[in-house]
Amino acid sequence: MPTGAPCAPWRPIRGVHPISIPGTKPVPQAVPQGPAGPQPKGWSLAASGIAIVAFTAFLALAWSAVSTLLLVFAGILLGVFLDGLTQLLGKVMPAGRGLRLSLVSLALAGFSLSVIAFGGATVMQQGRDLGQTVASQANTVRDRLKDYGIDVPGLTAPAKTDSPNKDASDAKQQKSGGLAGLASNAMESPGSILSDAGSVLGPAASVVIALFSALGNVLVIVFLGLSCAADPGSYRDGAVRFVPPRHRARARALLDGMGETLRHWLFGQLITMAVIFLCTWAGLSILGIGGALILGIQAGLLAFIPTIGPLIAGLVIVLAALASGLTAVLGAMGVYLAVQTLESYGLTPYIQKRALDIPPATIFAGQLVLGVLFGLWGIALALPLLAVIKVLLAQLYIEDTLQEDARA
C-alpha cells in the first residue's frame, strides 16, 4: 500500500469477534431489535371483526337465557353444599365418596319428608290463617292511611263483583261453550291451546302450571347438585382444559377458591337461618301471637336474602301481630329487633367472617343492580354471586395484576 494513501474503514468479519486494543474505543455492534424467535402475527381486520361479533352474540345469548344460567348456578350451589357435607362425613367415616354422598342425600331427603309429613298440615293451616290475617290487617292499615289522605295502591283490596249471579252464569256459559270450542280453536291455531285451556279451567290451570314450573325448577337444581357433588374434580378439570396450559394451575386454584368460599358461606348462612327461625318462633310463641311457627319459618327462609329479606319478614310479623293488639305489636317488634341485632352483631361477624367480608352498603347496592337486571333470581342469589365476584377480583386483579396481598 502506498504511503499516504487513505486507509479503508475497518469492518469486523462476520463470525469473528473483534480484538479490543487498550486505549481504543470498542466498535459498537449491531443489537437485534425485539426478542429472538418467531413472532406471532397480529390479527387481521376481518378476524378482529369476527371476534367482536362472536363475543357480542355470546353476551346477547347469555342475556336472553339469564334465568336458565341462574338456575344452573343454584344447582352448583346445591352441589357445593352436598360436597361439603360429604367431606365432613369423610372425617368420621372412612368410606368411598359415592357411599358418603348417598348417605348424605338420603338423610336430607328423609329429613325433608319427615318435616312435611309431621308438620306440613300445621304449617299449611297456619299459613292459611296467617294469609287471611295479614290481608285483613293490610286493609285496616290502608283505611287508616286513607283517612290521613295517604293512598297506598299496593294495599288496595281486590274489587268485589256487583252481580255474583251474573258472574256465575257467565262462568257456567264459558265452561259449557269453552269445552266445545277448545277443539276447533286448537285445529285453527294449535299454539293457542294452552291459553284456551287456561281460560276454560280458570285459576286451577294457573295453579297447576305454576306448580309444575316450580317442581321442574326444583328437579333441575337437585339433578345438577347431585351430578356436581358426585365428581366435582372432573367438572373442574373439564373447565380448566379451556384455559391455556401455562395458566391452568392458576385457573385450578381460582376454582378451588370459589368453591371453598361458597361452601363456607353456605354453612354459615344455614346456621344463621336456623338460629333466626328458632329465636323468632320461640319469642312469638311466648307472646301468644298466632301463626308463630309459620312466621318463624318465613323469617328463617328470608334471612337467605340479606337486607331485603329481613325487612319483608319484619313487615309480615308486625301485620300478623296487629290482630292481637298494641301490646302484641310492641312485643313482636321487640322480638324482631332482638333477632336482627343477634344476627347483625353476633352471628354474621363470627360465622361469615372467614367466608365473606363485604360491607352492607356494597351488598345492598349489588342486590339493587342484580335485582333490576335479573329480577327475583338476581335478588335471591345476590350474595353468592357477589362472593364469586369478590374471589375473581381478589385473585385475578389484586394479586396477579397489582401484585398486592388481597387480605390486606
Q: Is residue 178 part of a domain?
A: no
One-letter amino acid of 2: P
Q: What is the pTM of this model?
A: 0.67
Q: Is residue 179 part of a domain?
A: no
Dig out the grid coordinates for 33 from the structure: 431489535
pLDDT at 348: 75
Q: pLDDT (tens digit, 9 = 90+) per residue, 130-150?
A: 677 667 767 777 777 777 767
pLDDT at 226: 92
Task: Kindly list the distances between the CA atom of residue 101 and the CA atoms of 75, 107, 265, in Å, as whole numbers in the listed order.
Answer: 16, 10, 20
Task: Kindly list the distances between the CA atom of residue 301 and the CA atoms of 270, 272, 296, 309, in Å, as whole numbers in the listed order.
Answer: 9, 10, 9, 8
Q: Is residue 264 part of a domain?
A: yes
d(CA 225, CA 209): 24
Contact between 73 and 381 under an 8 Å Cβ cutoff? The reply is yes
Q: Is residue 47 part of a domain?
A: no
Dig out the grid coordinates for 204 from the structure: 286451577
Q: pLDDT (tens digit, 9 = 90+) per residue, 285-330?
A: 898 887 788 888 888 888 888 778 888 888 888 888 887 788 888 9
Task: Kindly list the distances between the CA atom of residue 287 and the CA atoms of 48, 248, 302, 310, in Å, as whole numbers in the listed order.
Answer: 68, 58, 22, 20
Give the residue numbers spanning the domain of 142: 65-152+192-399
pLDDT at 48: 75
Q: Is residue 204 part of a domain?
A: yes
Q: Which sign does the torsion angle of CA 220, 221, 222, 225 carry?
A: positive
- Structural domains counted in the chain: 1
Dig out the grid coordinates for 149 from the structure: 289522605
Q: Which positions of the chain have pLDDT values less than 70?
A: 1-44, 118-127, 129-130, 133-134, 137, 149, 151-208, 210, 352-356, 407-408
Contact between 86 and 229 under an 8 Å Cβ cutoff? The reply is yes
d(CA 38, CA 36): 7
Q: Is residue 185 part of a domain?
A: no
Q: Is residue 168 part of a domain?
A: no
d(CA 318, CA 338): 14
Q: Is residue 167 part of a domain?
A: no
pLDDT at 321: 84
pLDDT at 203: 54
Q: How far is CA 389 from the centre of its chain?
A: 12
Q: Which sign does the torsion angle of CA 183, 187, 193, 196 carry?
A: negative
